[in-house]
Amino acid sequence: MTESKNVPLESSGKRYIDEGGNIRFRISNPKLEKMEKLTEEEIGELFNSAITSIVAKAVEQFKNDIP
């Protein structure tokens, strides 16, 4: 993976073009900054919790759709 060269497209600097010519967006989000400090195990637990929640909602919706 190559390192991005930040070339601002507008004065806010939220968008930039990387070395491959792709438009990228910078995200300024305190929750994401906190996530950067999580351990691999904590991230795994959050991921598993999110997947479990999504599957539970899908199963519930499926049950409601069956006549």
Name the residue ranges covered by the structural domains of the chain.
1-28, 37-67
- pLDDT for res 5: 55
**Phi then psi dihedrals of residue 22, to 5 deg:** -85, 140
Asked whether the predicted pLDDT for residue 10 surpasses 50, the reply is: no
Asked whether the predicted pLDDT for residue 13 surpasses 60, the reply is: no
CB-based contacts of 25, cutoff 8 Å, min separation 6: 14, 15
Q: Per-residue pLDDT tens for 14-50?
A: 777 778 888 777 766 666 666 667 788 888 898 999 9
Neighbours of 47 (CB within 10 A): 10
- pLDDT (average), residues 48-53: 94
- pLDDT for res 33: 65
Q: What is the pTM of this model?
A: 0.43
